[in-house]
Chain A
């Protein structure tokens, strides 16, 4: 199996530390014991909705700086956020062009860094450089760990739980990325939910946007919330007990927006938190106190109270 580097990004450590705990617990020795470590020098990915939108040169230089850190450690980056995935993956694609790579390296030379890709032995004495691999947590879990291993680790199958899965735009699109899931009919998070013993319900406009991306949440929060309201109406209609997503920014949007249009709201959590619940983690460690929509009624239902 490959070796990885954690890339938590901005939202998880500073808003939802429970996700960080869950991911570390699942990847650590109590979970699947992956060869994974922290790289302390990682910065913001940087956010595609802000830096990619305003100046591509700055965005690419900052993203490439993160890539060089993983390159020097010869590790694959495992992001837990769709935004980080989109930003870093897009950067590796831009860097395929030697001219672009040269320009970025001129900027990065000022901070003593250089992106080449990870050197591997090619035919004979030739060395080939492979781009740094950027992978989503779901990708690593589904492809490298495998669904069988996930269900084998489940201690408390979350039976009778109906889950509405929200993938998030940058998990799926644009399809020119090297996709790890089917962009038009994604299945991996649904399968993970089912491996945890729960059932994933289908609902209308499942692949729609949560409304937060591209700076819309920061710029015009009513517009973002109004899109979330539509999604939540469809999710309620399907009778889901909770929303599970692969992206902390979508989570933040669902979590914050719901109080603007409903009293109770549907609990929302990251797939790693859901998975950790099924694997028998102590629920206090999942940091649900930081969620605005209370998860307690959901947890009581799990315990059958």
Chain B
């Protein structure tokens, strides 16, 4: 997994070696509160047993330790969580094996909420949200598949129906009401 490690954890190793001693200025006591706010409840009750890391499929492939991330969250070591926020597959095995009944997958999801609010929006989030605004679905329609749909007699995907425009209007209204378009930086009219 050389490639993935290079892409996603670049620089992280060096930093970890550099910061063998962590001084108080790096600790952010509000970080855990922020995580709880975005749904990662019970993060402070982590016992550091490491079951979550043992069952995590991603940890087999790259340097990604759920337990360490839980610890960084407790201490508020924000910068150590930066490189690995988007590699959780949300398979929830960590949750099933947690003796303290914490849901580490939800903590990862909370970290993503924080990332988005720090302005770190991965391109695929924008793509999916734009597709939702334009087509009502997160996957873009494909011309070849449309031909096959015709051959099978399935007809067009229901989202192509002219009447579906009212649904697209509803989706836009909802996205504007929750300010999601501003949050991730897309155009709610789908022009971007």
Chain A residues at the B interface, C-beta cutoff of 8 Å: 9-11, 13-15, 17-18, 20-21, 24, 38, 40-44, 46-58, 61-62, 65, 107-108, 110-111, 113, 169, 173-175, 183-184, 208-209, 211-216, 218-220, 222-224, 226-227, 230, 285, 287, 289-290
Q: How large is the interface on B (under 10, 10 to 19, 20 to 34, 35 or more residues)?
A: 35 or more
User: Do A48 and B90 touch (CB < 8 A)?
Assistant: yes
Smallest CB gap from A219: residue in B: B86
Give Cα distance in the complex from A61 to B128, angstroms.
17
Q: Among A48, A49, A108, A287, which residue has its beta carbon within 8 angstroms of that of B174?
A: A108
Contacts A213-B90, A219-B86; is A14 near B61 (CB within 8 Å)? no
When the two chains form their complex, are residues A54 and B112 in contact, meaning their CB atoms are under 8 A apart?
A: yes
Query: Which segment, of B46-54, B69-77, B175-183, faces chain A?
Result: B175-183
Pick the residue among A44, A57, A289 that contacts B138 (CB under 8 A): A44
CB atoms of B139 and A43 under 8 A apart: no
Neighbouring B residues of A226 by C-beta, 8 Å: 1, 4, 61
Q: B171: which A residues are within 8 A, CB to CB?
A: 43, 62, 65
Find out whether the CB atom of A220 lies under 8 angstroms from the CB atom of B8. yes
A209 touches which of B7, B57, B169 (Cβ 8 Å):
B57
Chain B minimum-CB-distance residue to A209: B91
Which residues of A sit under 8 angstroms from B86, Cβ to Cβ? 215-216, 219-220
Complex interface residues of chain B between 90 and 121 (CB less than 8 A to chain A): 90-93, 95-96, 103, 105, 108-109, 112-113, 116, 121
- A54 and B184 form a contact (CB under 8 A): yes
List 4 additional A-B contacts (Cβ < 8 Å) besides A43-B159, A55-B113, A108-B174.
A54-B112, A54-B113, A65-B171, A227-B89
Closest residue of chain A to B56, judged by CB? A209
Q: Are A52 and B109 in contact (CB under 8 A)?
A: yes
CA separation between A188 and B26, bound complex, in Å? 50
Question: Is B129's CB under 8 angstroms from A14's CB?
Answer: no
Inter-subunit contact A49/B145 (CB<8 Å) = no
Question: Is residue B152 contacting chain A, with contact meaning CB distance below 8 A?
Answer: yes
Residues from chain A with Cβ under 8 Å of B158 in the complex: 13, 38, 40, 42
A110–B173 contact, CB under 8 A?
yes
Q: Would you call B137 an interface residue if the criterion is a C-beta within 8 Å of the partner chain's C-beta atoms?
A: yes
Contact status of A17 and B149, CB under 8 A, knowing A173-B92, A214-B89? yes
Where chain B touches its partner, the secondary structure class is helix
Q: A50-B125, A53-B112 are in contact. Are A173 and B148 (CB under 8 A)?
A: no
User: Which of B90, B103, B180 has its CB near the most chain A CB atoms (within 10 A)?
Assistant: B90
A interface, by DSSP: helix, strand, loop or mixed? helix
Instruction: Map CB proximity to A onto B119-141 as digits: 1 under 8 Å, 0 otherwise.
Output: 00110110111001000111111
A53 near B109: Cβ-Cβ < 8 Å = yes
Residues of B within 8 A of A (CB): 1, 3-4, 7-8, 38-39, 57-58, 60-62, 86-93, 95-96, 103, 105, 108-109, 112-113, 116, 121-122, 124-125, 127-129, 132, 136-142, 144-145, 148-149, 152, 154, 157-159, 161, 163-164, 166-167, 169-171, 173-175, 177-178, 180, 183-184
B154→A17 contact, CB < 8 A: yes
Flag if A65 contacts B174 (CB, 8 Å).
Answer: yes
Residue of A110, A113, A216, A220 with most chain B CB atoms under a 10 A cut-off:
A220
The interface residues of chain B lying within 8 Å CB-to-CB of A175 are 96
- The answer to whether A14 touches B88, judged by C-beta atoms less than 8 angstroms apart, is no
Q: Given A38-B158, A107-B177, A215-B86: A43 and B109 within 8 A (CB)? A: no
Inter-subunit contact B174/A62 (CB<8 Å):
yes
**Which residues does chain B contribute within 8 Å of A24, judged by CB atoms?**
154
Residues in A whose Cβ lies below 8 Å from that of B90: 48-49, 53, 169, 213-214
Q: Which residues of chain A have C-beta atoms less than 8 A from B62's C-beta?
A: 223
Determine the distance from Cα of A236 to Cα of B2 in the docked complex, in whole angstroms. 25
The answer to whether B149 and A47 touch across the interface, beta carbons within 8 angstroms, is no
CB nearest neighbor in A for B93: A173
Name 29 interchain pairs, CB-CB below 8 A, sorted by A: A10-B138, A11-B139, A17-B148, A17-B154, A38-B158, A43-B171, A44-B136, A50-B128, A51-B129, A53-B109, A55-B113, A55-B116, A111-B174, A174-B92, A184-B96, A208-B57, A213-B90, A214-B108, A216-B86, A220-B7, A220-B86, A222-B3, A222-B4, A223-B1, A224-B89, A226-B1, A227-B57, A230-B60, A290-B148
